[in-house]
A and B are shown apart, each in its own frame.
Chain A
Amino acid sequence: TQLLEQSPQFLSIQEGENLTVYCNSSSVFSSLQWYRQEPGEGPVLLVTVVTGGEVKKLKRLTFQFGDARKDSSLHITAAQPGDTGLYLCAGARGNEKLTFGTGTRLTIIP
Protein backbone atom coordinates (compact mmCIF):
# COMPACT_ATOMS: atom_id res chain seq x y z
CA THR A 1 0.00 0.00 0.00
CA GLN A 2 1.46 3.35 -1.10
CA LEU A 3 0.72 5.88 1.62
CA LEU A 4 2.06 8.94 -0.19
CA GLU A 5 0.88 9.81 -3.69
CA GLN A 6 2.69 12.49 -5.65
CA SER A 7 1.33 14.42 -8.61
CA PRO A 8 2.12 14.94 -11.32
CA GLN A 9 4.29 11.90 -11.97
CA PHE A 10 6.10 13.69 -14.80
CA LEU A 11 6.39 17.41 -15.52
CA SER A 12 8.23 19.15 -18.33
CA ILE A 13 8.15 22.95 -18.48
CA GLN A 14 10.07 25.85 -19.99
CA GLU A 15 12.74 27.71 -18.08
CA GLY A 16 11.25 30.67 -16.21
CA GLU A 17 7.84 29.11 -15.60
CA ASN A 18 6.38 28.35 -12.18
CA LEU A 19 5.25 24.91 -11.03
CA THR A 20 3.73 23.09 -8.08
CA VAL A 21 4.18 19.46 -7.07
CA TYR A 22 1.79 17.78 -4.66
CA CYS A 23 2.19 15.06 -2.06
CA ASN A 24 -1.04 13.60 -0.66
CA SER A 25 -1.96 10.98 1.90
CA SER A 26 -4.91 9.79 3.95
CA SER A 27 -2.58 9.38 6.93
CA VAL A 28 -1.40 12.00 9.40
CA PHE A 29 2.36 12.48 9.58
CA SER A 30 4.38 13.97 12.40
CA SER A 31 6.94 15.24 9.91
CA LEU A 32 7.30 15.43 6.16
CA GLN A 33 10.38 15.93 4.05
CA TRP A 34 11.18 16.78 0.45
CA TYR A 35 14.20 15.39 -1.40
CA ARG A 36 15.75 15.96 -4.82
CA GLN A 37 17.64 13.25 -6.62
CA GLU A 38 19.87 13.85 -9.62
CA PRO A 39 20.97 11.08 -12.00
CA GLY A 40 23.59 8.79 -10.50
CA GLU A 41 23.25 10.26 -7.02
CA GLY A 42 21.37 9.50 -3.85
CA PRO A 43 18.41 11.67 -2.78
CA VAL A 44 19.37 14.88 -1.00
CA LEU A 45 17.24 16.33 1.78
CA LEU A 46 15.80 19.75 0.89
CA VAL A 47 13.52 20.51 3.83
CA THR A 48 11.66 19.05 6.80
CA VAL A 49 8.31 20.42 7.97
CA VAL A 50 6.75 19.37 11.26
CA THR A 51 3.90 21.79 12.06
CA GLY A 52 0.52 21.85 10.31
CA GLY A 53 0.30 24.90 8.03
CA GLU A 54 4.04 25.44 8.16
CA VAL A 55 5.65 27.20 5.19
CA LYS A 56 9.38 27.08 4.50
CA LYS A 57 11.30 28.81 1.73
CA LEU A 58 14.58 27.75 0.20
CA LYS A 59 15.54 30.38 -2.40
CA ARG A 60 13.01 29.85 -5.24
CA LEU A 61 11.44 26.79 -3.60
CA THR A 62 8.47 27.10 -1.23
CA PHE A 63 7.30 24.13 0.82
CA GLN A 64 3.99 23.93 2.66
CA PHE A 65 2.69 21.33 5.11
CA GLY A 66 -1.08 20.96 5.11
CA ASP A 67 -3.04 22.10 8.14
CA ALA A 68 -4.10 18.52 8.90
CA ARG A 69 -0.53 17.23 8.31
CA LYS A 70 -1.76 14.84 5.60
CA ASP A 71 -0.39 16.61 2.55
CA SER A 72 2.32 18.93 1.30
CA SER A 73 3.23 20.98 -1.73
CA LEU A 74 6.43 22.17 -3.34
CA HIS A 75 6.26 25.34 -5.45
CA ILE A 76 9.14 26.43 -7.65
CA THR A 77 9.25 29.98 -8.96
CA ALA A 78 11.03 30.82 -12.20
CA ALA A 79 12.28 27.29 -12.80
CA GLN A 80 15.86 26.82 -14.00
CA PRO A 81 17.52 23.88 -15.77
CA GLY A 82 19.37 23.12 -12.51
CA ASP A 83 16.02 22.29 -10.92
CA THR A 84 15.73 19.21 -13.14
CA GLY A 85 15.56 15.99 -11.14
CA LEU A 86 13.40 13.50 -9.30
CA TYR A 87 11.52 15.10 -6.40
CA LEU A 88 10.45 12.81 -3.57
CA CYS A 89 8.35 13.53 -0.53
CA ALA A 90 8.61 11.34 2.55
CA GLY A 91 6.65 11.18 5.77
CA ALA A 92 7.10 9.73 9.21
CA ARG A 93 4.45 8.91 11.79
CA GLY A 94 5.93 9.28 15.23
CA ASN A 95 9.16 7.32 15.40
CA GLU A 96 8.10 4.86 12.71
CA LYS A 97 9.97 4.25 9.49
CA LEU A 98 10.12 6.88 6.79
CA THR A 99 7.71 6.31 3.89
CA PHE A 100 8.57 7.72 0.48
CA GLY A 101 6.17 9.01 -2.13
CA THR A 102 5.89 7.85 -5.70
CA GLY A 103 8.10 10.67 -7.03
CA THR A 104 7.78 13.51 -9.56
CA ARG A 105 10.25 13.61 -12.41
CA LEU A 106 10.79 17.27 -13.34
CA THR A 107 12.47 18.45 -16.54
CA ILE A 108 13.19 22.13 -17.15
CA ILE A 109 13.71 22.95 -20.80
CA PRO A 110 16.20 25.77 -21.47
Chain B
Amino acid sequence: NAGVTQTPKFQVLKTGQSMTLQCAQDMNHNSMYWYRQDPGMGLRLIYYSASEGTTDKGEVPNGYNVSRLNKREFSLRLESAAPSQTSVYFCASSEWRVGAFFGQGTRLTVV
Protein backbone atom coordinates (compact mmCIF):
# COMPACT_ATOMS: atom_id res chain seq x y z
CA ASN B 1 0.00 0.00 0.00
CA ALA B 2 2.30 2.74 -1.31
CA GLY B 3 -0.09 5.74 -1.21
CA VAL B 4 1.61 8.66 -2.97
CA THR B 5 5.06 8.09 -4.45
CA GLN B 6 7.31 10.94 -5.57
CA THR B 7 10.59 10.77 -7.40
CA PRO B 8 13.31 11.86 -7.07
CA LYS B 9 13.73 12.57 -3.34
CA PHE B 10 16.68 14.91 -3.85
CA GLN B 11 17.89 16.88 -6.88
CA VAL B 12 20.48 19.56 -7.56
CA LEU B 13 20.12 21.54 -10.78
CA LYS B 14 22.14 24.26 -12.41
CA THR B 15 20.33 27.44 -13.39
CA GLY B 16 18.67 26.95 -16.75
CA GLN B 17 18.47 23.16 -16.58
CA SER B 18 15.15 21.36 -16.89
CA MET B 19 13.69 18.45 -14.99
CA THR B 20 10.45 16.60 -14.35
CA LEU B 21 9.19 15.55 -10.94
CA GLN B 22 7.13 12.39 -11.04
CA CYS B 23 4.16 11.55 -8.82
CA ALA B 24 1.91 8.51 -8.72
CA GLN B 25 -0.92 7.50 -6.40
CA ASP B 26 -2.59 4.12 -5.97
CA MET B 27 -5.70 5.23 -4.03
CA ASN B 28 -7.88 5.88 -7.11
CA HIS B 29 -8.26 9.54 -6.11
CA ASN B 30 -9.58 12.01 -8.66
CA SER B 31 -7.76 15.13 -7.40
CA MET B 32 -4.00 15.62 -7.43
CA TYR B 33 -1.86 18.58 -6.43
CA TRP B 34 1.64 19.98 -6.55
CA TYR B 35 2.77 22.25 -3.70
CA ARG B 36 6.02 23.93 -2.82
CA GLN B 37 7.15 24.63 0.72
CA ASP B 38 9.93 27.06 1.50
CA PRO B 39 11.84 26.88 4.83
CA GLY B 40 9.63 27.68 7.81
CA MET B 41 6.63 28.35 5.60
CA GLY B 42 3.32 26.74 4.80
CA LEU B 43 2.26 25.09 1.54
CA ARG B 44 1.76 27.05 -1.65
CA LEU B 45 -0.24 25.48 -4.47
CA ILE B 46 1.50 25.35 -7.83
CA TYR B 47 -0.99 23.35 -9.91
CA TYR B 48 -4.10 21.31 -9.32
CA SER B 49 -5.82 18.56 -11.31
CA ALA B 50 -9.43 17.75 -10.50
CA SER B 51 -9.50 14.73 -12.80
CA GLU B 52 -7.65 13.04 -15.63
CA GLY B 53 -7.19 15.47 -18.48
CA THR B 54 -7.78 18.67 -16.49
CA THR B 55 -5.30 21.00 -14.82
CA ASP B 56 -5.62 24.42 -13.18
CA LYS B 57 -3.12 27.00 -12.01
CA GLY B 58 -2.66 27.51 -8.33
CA GLU B 59 -1.09 30.34 -6.36
CA VAL B 60 2.45 30.15 -7.82
CA PRO B 61 2.36 28.54 -11.31
CA ASN B 62 4.99 30.68 -13.08
CA GLY B 63 7.98 28.68 -14.24
CA TYR B 64 6.18 25.33 -14.01
CA ASN B 65 4.14 23.07 -16.24
CA VAL B 66 2.17 19.96 -15.35
CA SER B 67 0.76 16.92 -17.05
CA ARG B 68 -1.98 14.64 -15.76
CA LEU B 69 -0.93 11.55 -17.69
CA ASN B 70 -3.72 9.35 -16.38
CA LYS B 71 -5.69 9.01 -13.15
CA ARG B 72 -2.63 7.75 -11.26
CA GLU B 73 0.12 10.08 -12.44
CA PHE B 74 0.68 13.82 -12.22
CA SER B 75 4.05 15.25 -13.23
CA LEU B 76 5.59 18.67 -12.64
CA ARG B 77 8.13 20.11 -15.07
CA LEU B 78 10.61 22.92 -14.61
CA GLU B 79 11.61 24.07 -18.08
CA SER B 80 14.42 26.44 -17.05
CA ALA B 81 15.26 26.18 -13.38
CA ALA B 82 15.99 29.33 -11.37
CA PRO B 83 17.46 29.71 -7.86
CA SER B 84 14.05 31.02 -6.70
CA GLN B 85 12.69 27.55 -7.37
CA THR B 86 14.87 26.03 -4.66
CA SER B 87 12.30 24.48 -2.35
CA VAL B 88 10.70 21.26 -1.16
CA TYR B 89 8.03 20.02 -3.54
CA PHE B 90 5.11 17.88 -2.39
CA CYS B 91 2.66 15.95 -4.47
CA ALA B 92 -0.71 15.04 -2.96
CA SER B 93 -3.92 13.29 -3.93
CA SER B 94 -7.32 13.68 -2.36
CA GLU B 95 -10.90 12.58 -2.51
CA TRP B 96 -13.93 14.67 -1.55
CA ARG B 97 -14.61 14.61 2.18
CA VAL B 98 -11.72 12.23 2.80
CA GLY B 99 -8.69 14.49 2.85
CA ALA B 100 -5.30 14.62 1.18
CA PHE B 101 -2.41 12.21 1.25
CA PHE B 102 1.08 13.48 0.58
CA GLY B 103 4.24 12.09 -0.88
CA GLN B 104 7.53 12.31 1.01
CA GLY B 105 8.68 15.36 -0.92
CA THR B 106 11.42 16.28 -3.38
CA ARG B 107 14.18 18.52 -2.07
CA LEU B 108 15.31 20.62 -5.00
CA THR B 109 18.30 22.95 -4.98
CA VAL B 110 19.02 25.20 -7.96
CA VAL B 111 22.54 26.65 -8.03
Interface residues of A (CB under 8 A from B): 30-31, 33, 35, 40-45, 48, 50, 86, 88, 90, 92, 94-95, 97-98, 100-103, 105
B45 at the interface (CB under 8 A from A): yes
Q: How many A-B residue pairs have CB under 8 A?
A: 62
CB distance B105 to A100 under 8 Å? no
**One of B40, B42, B101, B105 near A88 (C-beta < 8 A):** B42
Interface size class of chain B, counting residues whose CB lies under 8 Å from the partner chain: 20 to 34
CB distance A31 to B43 under 8 Å? no
**One of B45, B56, B58, B105 near A41 (C-beta < 8 A):** B105
B99: which A residues are within 8 A, CB to CB?
A: 31, 33, 35, 45, 48, 90
A26 to B60, CA, bound (A): 23
Q: Which B residues, 11 to 66, have Cβ-Cβ distances below 8 Å to chain A?
A: 31, 33, 35, 40-43, 45, 48, 50, 56, 58
Known: A40-B105, A97-B31, A100-B45. 20 other contacts (CB 8 A): A30-B96, A31-B97, A31-B99, A35-B100, A41-B104, A42-B90, A42-B102, A42-B103, A42-B105, A45-B101, A48-B99, A88-B43, A92-B94, A94-B96, A95-B96, A97-B33, A97-B50, A97-B58, A98-B92, A103-B42
CB distance from B33 to the nearest CB of A (A): 7
B98 at the interface (CB under 8 A from A): yes
B102: which A residues are within 8 A, CB to CB?
A: 42-44
Shortest Cβ distance from B58 into A: residue: A97
CB distance A97 to B96 under 8 Å? no
CB distance A50 to B97 under 8 Å? yes
Shortest Cβ distance from A46 into B: residue: B99
Shortest Cβ distance from A99 into B: residue: B45
A97: which B residues are within 8 A, CB to CB?
A: 31, 33, 45, 48, 50, 56, 58
A105 to B40, CA, bound (A): 9
CB distance from A60 to the nearest CB of B (A): 20
